[in-house]
């Protein structure tokens, strides 16, 4: 039988830091920003001991410090994480099966076997032997179920989730246990009396379409049944976008400073776009107003481009769509590539 396996490296960034500093093993480690919890930055990854205190990715560093005051804070090191990730993906490719890389710390594998658990154990063993890292493997009959299965296997475990046990495992769980249902959608579903995966799977299609639109409404019901794609494409990982952002230690209040910071971010993004070897087709600007209100706006570029001047001009044009009367604590610029573009 053909299976989809989802391999997810456990506490990846923190685990890489522990490879360099073994004395950190078993301790609450938080990676983010420049490693200073007094600065404005967010948590990139927290080790499992830190997560026990309620620390989560995306949480402000100062909040993480309050929840886990004894944590060890470390700065992010993307170059090292990239190198270690490549090493892990090479290990996965050594199994001679399709490997679809999703990012630094996860990938899908398409595997034909009568014993997927045994195959998963071989993956875990080889990854551990060659990289000293632990991973969790989710086994599914499609990509959606494999990815969700990983959540049940953490840490360093194996879990199988298929059509056979989907509702037994997922039925009574809240709707946001489904990848693709966030907190806002969960609240909207709750307003319709839909609180669990079982209830969403049984919901009326027309009612969902009326509330969420003719595409998204039925899609949420589709998710609740655990349906998803089964193919794993053995293609190199290609980023869908390149982005840069800056959190300011002091809020920006002068619009000229906001424009200058956006232009600088756009120039840095243009360097990433040039290195990628693919033109951008869309530009987006992210603004976080004080105290913590975030909005993102984007615009399609007139023509695909890697021209720094064009990307800067487009970013500043998008920036003008934001109000100017509120202090700004974070700015980000993102260049998006065409979905079917290929590196030259």
Residues 68-115 have pLDDT tens digits of 999 999 999 988 998 999 999 999 999 999 999 998 899 999 999 999
pLDDT band at 190 (very low <50, low <70, confident <90, very high): very high
Provide the 8-state DSSP code for 88: H
Residue-level pLDDT at 293: 87
Among 106, 310, 312, 336, which one carries the catalytic annotation? Answer: 106
pLDDT score of 338: 87
State residue 342's pLDDT score. 45
pLDDT tens per residue across span 19-54? 999 999 999 999 999 999 999 889 999 999 999 999
Taking only the tens place, the pLDDT of each residue in 318-328 is: 999 999 999 99
pLDDT band at 303 (very low <50, low <70, confident <90, very high): very high
Share of the chain above pLDDT 70, in %: 98
- Among the listed residues 5, 9, 7, the one whose alpha carbon sits nearest the alpha carbon of residue 134: 9
pLDDT given for residue 167 in this prediction: 98
Max CA separation in the chain (angstroms):
64
Q: Determine the pLDDT at residue 295.
A: 93
State the fold for domain 1-164.
Alpha-Beta Plaits (3.30.70)
Tokens 């969790």 belong to residue: 136
At 247, is the pLDDT very low, low, confident or very high (cuts 50, 70, 90)? confident
pLDDT band at 227 (very low <50, low <70, confident <90, very high): very high
The position carrying tokens 């202090």 is 327
Domain boundaries, the chain: 1-164, 172-224, 241-337
Do 210 and 203 meet the contact criterion of CB atoms below 8 Å apart?
no
DSSP 8-state secondary structure symbol assigned to residue 58? T
CATH value of 172-224 in 1.10.150.20, 2.60.40.10, 3.40.640.10, 2.40.128.280: 1.10.150.20
pLDDT of residue 340: 59
* pLDDT for res 292: 79
**Distance (Å, rounded) from C-alpha 33 to C-alpha 325?**
27
The candidate with the shortest Cα–Cα distance to 340, out of 312, 308, 304, 297, is: 304
Question: Which pTM value belongs to this model?
Answer: 0.77
State mean pLDDT over 143-149.
97
Tell me if residue 106 is catalytic. Answer: yes
Please check the confidence at residue 142 and state whether its pLDDT lies above 90.
Answer: yes
For 106, the enclosing helix (H) or strand (E) is strand 106-112
Per-residue confidence (pLDDT) for residue 237, from 0 to 100? 66
The CATH code of the domain at 241-337 is 3.30.1490.100
Q: What pLDDT shows up at residue 341? A: 47
DSSP state of 166: H
pLDDT of residue 344: 38
Which region among 132-146, 207-221, 227-241, 278-292 has the lowest average model confidence (pLDDT)? 227-241
Give pLDDT, residue 236.
Answer: 66
């Amino acid at each position: 039988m053909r299976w989809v396996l989802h391999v997810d490296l456990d506490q990846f960034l923190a685990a890489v830091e522990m490879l360099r500093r073994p004395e950190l093993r078993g301790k609450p480690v938080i990676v983010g920003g420049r490693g200073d919890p007094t600065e404005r930055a967010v948590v990139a990854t927290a080790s499992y001991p830190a997560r026990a205190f309620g620390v989560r990715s995306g949480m402000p560093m100062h909040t993480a410090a309050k929840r886990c005051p004894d944590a060890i804070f470390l700065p992010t090191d993307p170059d090292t994480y990239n190198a270690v990730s490549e090493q892990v993906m090479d290990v996965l490719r050594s199994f001679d099966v399709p490997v679809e890389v999703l990012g630094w710390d996860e990938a899908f594998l398409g595997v034909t076997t009568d014993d997927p658990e045994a195959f998963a154990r071989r993956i875990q063993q080889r990854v551990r032997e060659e990289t000293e890292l632990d991973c969790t493997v989710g086994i599914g009959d499609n990509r959606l179920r494999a990815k969700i299965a990983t959540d049940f296997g953490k840490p360093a475990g194996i879990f199988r989730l298929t059509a056979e046990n989907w509702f037994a495992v997922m039925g009574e769980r809240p709707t946001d246990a489904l990848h693709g249902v966030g907190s806002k959608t969960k609240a909207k579903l709750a307003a319709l009396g839909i609180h669990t995966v079982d209830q969403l799977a049984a919901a009326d299609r027309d009612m969902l379409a009326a509330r969420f639109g003719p595409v998204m409404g039925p899609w949420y019901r589709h998710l609740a049944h655990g349906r998803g794609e089964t193919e794993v494409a053995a293609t190199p990982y290609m980023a869908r976008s390149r982005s840069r952002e800056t959190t300011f230690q002091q809020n920006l209040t002068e619009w000229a400073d906001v424009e200058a910071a956006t232009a600088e971010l756009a120039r840095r993004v243009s360097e990433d776009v040039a290195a990628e070897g693919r033109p951008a087709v869309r530009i987006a600007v992210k603004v976080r107003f004080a105290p913590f209100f975030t909005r993102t706006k984007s615009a399609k570029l007139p023509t695909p481009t890697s021209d720094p001047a064009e990307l800067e001009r487009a970013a500043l044009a998008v920036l003008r769509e934001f109000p100017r009367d509120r202090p700004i604590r974070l700015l980000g610029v993102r260049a998006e590539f065409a979905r079917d573009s290929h590196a030259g």
